[in-house]
Amino acid sequence: MIKVTPLLALLIFPGGLFLLNIGMFYEWIDRKLVARFQNRIGPRWFQPLADTIKLLAKEEIIPEKVHAGLFTFLPVFGMAGALASALYVPLAGFAPSYSFSGDLIVVLYLLSMMTLCLGLAGSNTVNRFSLVGATRTLTQLFSYEAPFMLALLGPAILTQSWQISEINFFAQDNIWILVTQPIGFLVALIGLMGKLELPPFDAPEAETEIVSGALTEYSGRGLALFHVGKDIELVIGLTLVSAFYLGGLANPLEFVLKTLGLLVVMALLQSLFARLRIDQTVGLWWRLGALLALIQLLVVLVF
Amino acid sequence: MTTNKTNKFTVPIGPQHPALKEPGHFEFTVDGEIVTGATARLGYVHRGIEKATESRNWIQDVYILERICGICSHVHAMAFAQGVEMLANVEIPPRARAIRTLIAELERIHSHMLWAGVAAHEGGFDTLFMYIWRDRETVMELLEMLTGNRVNYSANVLGGVKFDVQQDQIDEIRKGMDKLEERSRYYLEIVTTDETFLGRTRSIGIMDKKDAAVLGAVGPTARASGVERDVRVDVPYAYYPDFPTVSITDNAGDLEARFVVRMKEVLESVRLIREILDHLPEGDLAVRVPRRIPEGQVISRVEAPRGELFYYIESNGTDTPERVKVRTPTLPNWGSVLALAVGHKLADMPMILVGIDPCFSCNDRMVHITNNKNNDQVWSWEQLRQYGIEYYK
């Protein structure tokens, strides 16, 4: 039994199957909500799943002049990073499968791997849209990453631990950190949107300018893996932010309510604004985001 | 990214690209995100309509010319009909003039709202796009109610119009106008106050009055730069002499001004439509126009939603025209796009491109060179074939 559990954790829950399904389900909720806010009907509930299956069944075209190995394995690495990070977060309100002191940093790095892979995948090809997209993806990575990290450090410092499960327990026992650190929450939420390249931070994949950004040359399996990887990142990001700022995740019901509540806010923010140019995004994060996060940290440290 | 003078990094937009609703090809030379050069290549959607008119009779031509543009179809038929009526020396009844103007103004509302939605989409503001297009349905339904069609209304015949406007239809139009006025005011407020949207439009693509005049911009593009160029005001036609419209200008010359001018023009059209409905003259809808049009040449100009639409019509006295030349407003506006692009960011390109409300298929023409001696741009079939063999060797 002892030997079966790690395998289960990797393949069924919380990694693997569960994560893939909930990722696609959350993507659907996000798309549906944005559609309703925009006065559209929106997709049917199985649309993300159908898209994934269709893409997996299609031929993957490897373009000329790319490093074929990198081209094939970057989506796998990106998705693996996102999947691995799930093992350390309190997914569905259960205790994380693995936990050690300092796993917060590991999770943040694993989540960045996805973006890094995206940037590499774009710069691997000779497609000009991909190159511009990759440049923008990496530029955006450098702009939101620091404020996002600082925003997640706030609760960590309050708990005096770098362990996600301990921060989760701390958040459950105390008043919602959202109340005591509102600025940090805001930066974390918007940082998450930047990480996921959701509007208005979708300059790296702005379809009216650079078609599909770094993913322009991807088709079939690679594209499907990148998309699913993003969905997983969405779920993990929501889990992290709600575990830290919304009073922790003690049980599945709390998980569903809190992450979905957060998703509604995110969908609303997505439909409220026009796309920011990449220079505006960088300006916003370094002039405003980083500053706010630092002020929040100072407040936490002083009191 | 390597960017030096010998190794230029160019980003192609088109012929197929999500930013373009029709095929056209643009190449932007970029230095990082800054555009340092722009070229355009048009002609992917040439349809040969001008030539086609010469093998059809005058009445059939009204319908084929209406199909030049899928957005401003009515003004094409109107410009042609006006020209032919001038040639035939026919005076059309006042009620026909009023109805032509009424539909032209309804069409202007629909075209401007369509543009505003597309432009918002190019700027990544899809919510605004969806909302504007939802409200645009109001005017589409009014046009359908009046003429039976949503796109090619076929309201014109030579010598007048086909459709009358009934009292219950007038009531419907009034109701629709109330809604459109309210919504347009709201969108005018949005495009002038929304912070993120202003970040994409204010002080972007500024074209001053002098440039606009020199580059020969027309329509709302010119008026947003403070150039008062409006055929409806300068040379009133149809019902505009009786009910003059106000030329709306803005001196800012940036993308925001183009939004403001177009939204204000929608409001002006609403006012004009109400006024026309209040004073709709009684009488016939059409007069007879002879099947053979007397010999002669004529120039007919109207103000399409995108700017001045120019028709040159030549008749040789038979039942088919000798020559019909159409110059759509997109053509004179292209110059402004290429001039404006340099120095802006790549991210602004789609909005600057769309800022003039381009209609590619309307302006594509073919040039036929008759004197091909000593001209290295003219190749014979044998030369072309040889080039193809060499190219794919």
The stretch B324-334 carries a mean pLDDT of 88
Residues facing residue B69 across a β-bridge? none
Question: What pLDDT is stored for residue A1 in this prediction?
Answer: 37
Q: Is B41 among the domain residues?
A: no
Q: Which residues contact B133 (CB under 8 A, 6 or more apart)?
A: B113, B114, B117
CB proximity B18 to A under 8 Å: yes
Chain A to chain B Cβ contacts (< 8 Å): 78
pLDDT at B32 over 80: no
B357-371 pLDDT per residue, tens: 888 888 877 776 666
- The pTM score is 0.85
Residue B22's pLDDT band (cuts 50, 70, 90): confident
% of chain A surpassing 70 pLDDT: 98
Asked if residue B239 is part of any domain, the answer here is: yes
Containing B157, the helix (H) or strand (E) segment is strand B156-157
Q: Please report the pLDDT score of residue A28 as a whole number.
A: 93
Q: DSSP labels for A122-183?
A: HHHS--HHHHHHHHHHHHHHHHHHHHHHHHHHHHHHHHT---HHHHHHHHHHSS-HHHH-HH
Buried b (16+ CB within 10 A) or exposed e, A32-69: bbbbebbeeebeeeeebbebbeebeeeebebbeebeee
Option in B11, B18, B127 nearest A208 (CB): B18
Structural domain contains residue B208: yes
Q: With an 8 Å Cβ cutoff, is B21 touching chain A?
A: no
Tell me, what's the pLDDT at B3? 43
Q: Which of B33, B128, B200 sits opposite A278 (nearest CB)?
A: B33
Mean pLDDT, residues B332-347 taken together: 84
Q: Is residue B286 part of a domain?
A: yes
Q: Which residues of B322-349 are buried (b: 16+ CB within 10 A; e: fewer)?
A: bebebbbbbbbbbbbbbebbeebbbbbb
Split into its structural domains, chain B has a count of: 1
Count other Cβ atoms within 10 Å, centred on residue B130.
18
Q: Which range of residues forms the domain containing residue B166?
A: 49-327
pLDDT at B2: 42
Residue matched to tokens 């995110």: A266
Q: Please report the beta strands in B251-386, taking only residues with DSSP state E, as ranges in sequence order.
A: 296-304, 307-315, 321-327
Burial of B110 (0-12, 13-18, 19+ CB in 10 A): buried
In a domain, B22, yes or no: no
Assigned domain for B296 exists: yes
Which domain CATH number covers B161? Answer: 1.10.645.10
Question: Is B355 in CB contact (< 8 Å) with chain A?
Answer: no
Q: Which residue of A has its CA nearest to B18?
A: A208
Judge: A128–B128 Cβ closer than 8 Å, yes or no: no
Q: Both tokens of residue B309?
A: 């639409």
Q: What are the tens digits of pLDDT across the range A161-185?
A: 888 888 887 877 777 877 777 888 8
Three-state secondary structure call for residue B156: strand
Does residue B42 carry a pLDDT above 90? no
Q: How many CB atoms lie within 10 A of CB B214?
A: 13
Task: Give the model confidence (pLDDT) of A181-203 as tens digits.
Answer: 788 888 888 888 888 888 888 88
Structure-token pair, residue A129: 């849209």
Quote the tokens at residue A136.
């923008």
Strands B296-304 and B307-315: antiparallel
Residue B7 pLDDT class (50, 70, 90 cuts): low
Provide the chain B residues 120-149 that lie in CB contact (below 8 A) with chain A: 120-128, 130-131, 134
Report the candidate in A300, A112, A89, A283 with the shortest Cα–Cα distance to residue A192: A112
The pLDDT, as a whole number, for residue A89 is 82
- Name the amino acid, one letter, at B355: G
The alpha-carbon gap from A103 to the nearest alpha carbon of chain B, in Å, equals: 36
The first and second tokens of residue B312, run together, are 């040159």
User: Tokens 């002083």 belong to which residue?
Assistant: A302
Q: What is the pLDDT of residue A3?
A: 54
Q: How far is CA B98 from the centre of its chain?
A: 21
User: Across the interface, do B124 and A272 touch by the CB < 8 Å criterion?
Assistant: no
Per DSSP (E only), the strands in B32-129 are 34-41
Average pLDDT, chain B: 86
- Compute the average pLDDT of residues A72-86: 88
Would you say residue B340 lies in a domain?
Answer: no
Handedness of CA B18, B19, B24, B27 (dihedral sign): negative
Here the ipTM equals: 0.84
Q: B163 in a domain, yes or no?
A: yes
Phi, psi of B38 (to 5 degrees): -145, 135
Q: Would you say B135 and A39 are in contact if contact means Cβ atoms under 8 Å apart?
A: no
